[in-house]
Amino acid sequence: MTLIAFLIIFPLVIAALLLLVKGDWPRNIIVGISAAVIAVASILLAVQYLGTSHRLFEFSSAIVDYVGTAISIAIAAVIISFGVKYKNKLATALAIVQVVGSLVYEFGFAHAVHEPAGLYIDSLSVIMALIIGVIGSGICVYALGYMIDFQAHEPEGAKDRRPTFFALMFLFLSAMFVIVFSNNMVWMFTGWEVTTVCSFLLIGYTRTDEAINNAFRQIIMNLLGGIGFLVALYIATIQMHTISLDRFILEGLMHPEIAALPVCALAFAGLTKAAQMPFHTWLLGAMVAPTPTSALLHSSTMVKAGVFLLIKLAPLFLVCQVPGTMVILIGGITFMLCSFMAISQTNAKRVLAYSTIANLGLITACAGVGTPEAIWAAILLVIFHAAAKSLLFLCVGTAEHHIGSRDIEDMDLLFERMPRLARFMMLGIMCMFIAPFGMLIAKWATLVSFVETKQVVLIILLAFGSAATFMFWAKWLGKLSGIAGRPQNVEMTVHPSEWISLIVMAAIAIVACIVLPIMSHTMVEPYLVGIYGQLGQDISVDNLWISSILAVFVLVVLFGGVNSSKKKRVGVYLAGVSTDSDTRTYRNSLSGESIATSRNLYLDSIFGEARIRRTGEIVCAIVIIFALVASGVVPPMFY
């Protein structure tokens, strides 16, 4: 309980402190130490509550309620001021709707229901706390070095907004802790809205036209989700007389006919936050932000809040068929189509974004299936995705500053130019898609759970989607692994803080892969037992250990084996007319010199965004509208 309060309040204090600090050095020290403190605190929390299935804490306070209301008003004020300044009517209108809605709720309905147990902890929130506390604060450390380079790349005389930037990062962490520990859904909603507005400000950090546009796209989509959440709060209070998450789930299980609409509205909120189609464009737009922001949004916060909520609601999806089907379909379609679209991307960050959306789709689909087996897979996907994706984002960010591009084609020869970084990047990529690493084990479990529940559509979507996944990762990996000649090593100027967080991320990814069986036993299973009263692991422990051993083998090879061998080096074959094989130069038919170049396959004619995006958005929008109408207007017909 103390630890939970500490985890929520401490980042807030640091955020306030960082707003005031202007110099690089004091900031480095504050961020470094507080990140370590948060990481240690979340690990302590994990140790203390290891294996806890569910535990409520008696905590309620009118002051906290009022603070929440004040925060809601502040959020609305921020959005409205930006909306007026940049003349964005839709965002302003939505913000007004939301603030009026929450004020009416707060003063008209909230006092009808009193919730004594405001906070709770279970194994899922422990896992989430670890992800937020360790990976999230690791990204904050990474941002220290990155933002120095970033500021140096900015045009002369650009305003230094770094104090706000770091304050927002820590505020984000605090809000995430609120979301994962609040049993009181009103508090959870406050945290939810804080993450929305934080990412709004972070995406718009550079204040360029593109950044502002994308920030508004994000806020509009997430305000829609927020309104969904608010609708759910109203219905829960009025019809079910509870604002506590665990009571809500219990009531929902007993009266699915009442729960259908609020569950659907909450799921809608989760889908927008998890950037599922048709709302996936906000996460793509978020790429304009500095890389630590993308890393934070993609791996440990924001989108993870969305899937966290969906996983929490999973038992309800088993009984409420309309929202369940909606979540399954949206997740499955998003997984397949976004995997397809990732093939056609050359921009590394966009590939990462599409892969994030695709994986969130998979998690969403698992949550929608709702069986213990599916949830086991979903939680593991959350863990491995957080670890591998943060590693990848940080690698791409560092590479971008040192080779001057985030295009995959420009990462040619990275293995020689930035040997350590390239290996980390390769590790991250392998963790994302290939056996024997955790992500694939989780996908395997996903497939098994789909098969067992006979989700035919999902099986087919998964089969084709994973094939596409192989394609876009493998060709990137191939680009990285190219070796020729002795290009200059440009790695020496990477900031130490960047190395530290890269190593931490890599270590997390590695350890998570190796101790997967233990993690499943001590962290994931207790949650499933708490919720369903049964275990969810579908893959035998033997198979998990075999994978662990193979994973270790790959790591040894990657970091120990692929160094230059003592074999004689020869040039590449260029039809006998090569003049310099390191640069692939050859003598052409006019006795001049040409360079042989080859690009990867991007298959734009088959998997191009233009072909796929519209279809996906329309199909998913229809599914959502149909589900909302079906569960809102005609619930009795469906039960």
Partner 1 sequence: MGYATKSPWVIHYDASSCNGCDIEVLAALCPGFDVERFGIINTGNPKHADIFLVTGSVNERNISVVKQIYDQMVEPKVVVACGTCACSGGIFHDCYNVIGGVDQAIPVDVYAPGCAVRPEAIIDGVVQALGILDEKSKALKAAKRGA
Partner 2 sequence: MTFINTLIGTVAFAILAPIVGCLLAGLDRIISARMQGRVGPPLLQPYYDVRKLIDKDDVTVSGVDGVYMTCALVFTAFAGGIFFSGGNLLMSAFIITMAALFFIMAAYSSRSPYAEVGAGRETLQVMSYEPMVLLMAVCFFMAAHSFNVGDAFKLNMPVITLIWPAFIGFLFILTIKLRKSPFDISTSHHAHQELVKGTTTEMSGKTLAKVEIMHWCENVLFLGWTGMFFLWGGPLSIILAVVVALAAWFFEIWVDNNFARVKWQLMLKSAWIVALVCGGVNVVFLAML
Place of tokens 């302003």: 92
Position 25 contacts partner 1 (CB under 8 A)? no
576 binds, among partner 1, partner 2, none (CB under 5 to 8 A by kind): partner 1
Q: Do the Cβ atoms of 246 and 313 come closer than 8 Å?
A: no
Tokens representing 252 are 């929902």
For 191-194, the CB contacts below 8 A with 24+ separation are 191/305, 192/226, 192/229, 192/269, 192/273, 192/305, 193/71, 193/72, 193/75, 193/98, 193/226, 194/71, 194/75
**Of 92-100, 237-245, 540-548, 612-620: span binding partner 2 (CB under 8 A):** 540-548
Contact partner, 521, from partner 2, partner 1, none, Cβ < 5-8 Å per class: none
**What is the rounded distance in angstroms from the CA atom of residue 485 to the CA atom of residue 581?**
8
| Residues shown for the chain | 639
Q: Is the peptide bond before 278 cis (omega within 30 degrees of 0)?
A: yes
**In the complex with partner 2, which residue's Cβ is closer, 165 or 602?**
602
Q: Which of 322, 335, 321, 388 is nearest to 364 (CA)?
A: 335
| 78 near partner 2, rule: CB under 8 A | no
Distance (Å, whole) CA 252 – CA 240: 9
The tally of CA atoms less than 13 A away on the side-chain side of residue 214 is 22
**585 is a site residue for partner 1 (CB under 8 A):** no
Terminal alpha carbon distance of the chain: 41
Nearer to partner 1 among residue 25 and residue 573 (C-beta) = 573
Q: Is 485 in the site for partner 1 (CB under 8 A)?
A: no
Determine, following the binding rule CB under 8 A, whether residue 459 of this chain makes contact with partner 2.
Answer: yes
Least distance between partner 2 and beta carbon 450 (Å): 8
Which pair of structure tokens corresponds to residue 262? 């609020």
Rule CB under 8 A: say whether 479 interacts with partner 2.
yes
The least distance separating partner 2 from the CB of residue 475, rounded to whole angstroms, comes to 6
User: Given the complex with partner 2, which of 271 and 462 has the nearer CB atom?
Assistant: 462
Q: Is 550 in the site for partner 2 (CB under 8 A)?
A: yes
Q: Does 578 bind partner 1 (CB under 8 A)?
A: yes
Token pair for residue 533? Answer: 């009263």
What residue 102 binds from partner 1, partner 2, none (CB within 5 to 8 A, per partner kind)? none
| 417 binds partner 2 per the rule CB under 8 A | no
CB of residue 566 vs partner 1: minimum separation in angstroms?
11
CA distances 343 to 130, 355, 394, 470, 480, Å, are 32, 10, 21, 9, 16
Asked whether 344 and 312 are in contact (CB, 8 A), the reply is no
Which does residue 444 bind out of partner 1, partner 2, none, counting CB within 5 to 8 angstroms by kind?
partner 2
Instruction: Give 54's strand partners.
Output: 122
At 558, give phi and psi (nearest 5°): -65, -40
Stretch that binds partner 1, among 294-302, 534-542, 569-577, 601-609 (CB under 8 A): 569-577
* CA atoms of 623 and 178, how far apart (whole Å): 31
Stretch that binds partner 1, among 224-232, 298-306, 425-433, 572-580 (CB under 8 A): 572-580
Count the residues of the shown chain that bind partner 1, applying the rule CB under 8 A: 8
Q: How many whole angstroms separate alpha carbon 203 and alpha carbon 210?
A: 10
The sign one gets for the Cα dihedral 334, 601, 414, 509 is positive
Binding mask 2-21 for partner 2 (x = CB under 8 A): --------------------
Q: Is 577 an interacting residue with respect to partner 1 (CB under 8 A)?
A: yes
Nearest CB to partner 1, comparing residues 591 and 605 = 591
Q: Which of 277, 276, 296 is nearest to 286 (CA)?
A: 296
Stretch that binds partner 1, among 7-15, 169-177, 181-189, 575-583 (CB under 8 A): 575-583
Smallest gap from Cβ 34 to partner 1, in A, equals 57
Q: Looking up tokens 């909120």, which residue turns up?
A: 269
The nearest distance, CB 441 to partner 2, in angstroms, is 9
Q: Report the residue from 543, 580, 593, 634 that binds partner 2 according to the rule CB under 8 A.
A: 543
Which of 178/544 has CB closer to partner 2? 544
515 near partner 2, judged by CB under 8 A = no
Q: Which is nearer to partner 2, 159 or 566 (CB)?
A: 566
> CB of residue 435 vs partner 2: minimum separation in angstroms?
4
Nearest 5°: the CA angle 385, 386, 387 is 95
User: To the nearest whole angstrom, how small is the minimum distance from the Cβ of residue 565 to partner 1?
Assistant: 15
Contact status: 421 vs partner 2 (CB under 8 A): no
> Which of 64, 73, 447, 619 is the binder for partner 2 (CB under 8 A)?
447
Q: What are phi and psi of 535, to 5 degrees?
A: -80, 155
Number of residues that bind partner 2 (CB under 8 A): 63
Question: Dihedral sign, CA of 364, 298, 90, 229?
Answer: positive
d(C-alpha 613, C-alpha 604), whole Å: 13
Q: Considering only 98-106, 501-509, 565-573, 596-604, which stretch makes contact with partner 1 by CB under 8 A?
A: 565-573
Residue 592 in contact with partner 1, rule: CB under 8 A: no
Minimum distance from residue 573 beta carbon to partner 1 (Å): 6
Distances (CA, A) of 163 to 77, 205, 331: 21, 12, 37
- Residues lying near partner 2 in the complex (CB under 8 A) are found at 412-413, 415, 434-436, 440, 444, 447-448, 451, 454, 456, 459-460, 462-464, 466-468, 470-471, 474-475, 477-479, 481-484, 539-540, 542-543, 545-547, 550, 553-554, 557, 561-565, 567-574, 584, 596-598, 600-601, 606
- Residues lying near partner 1 in the complex (CB under 8 A) are found at 570-571, 573, 575-578, 587
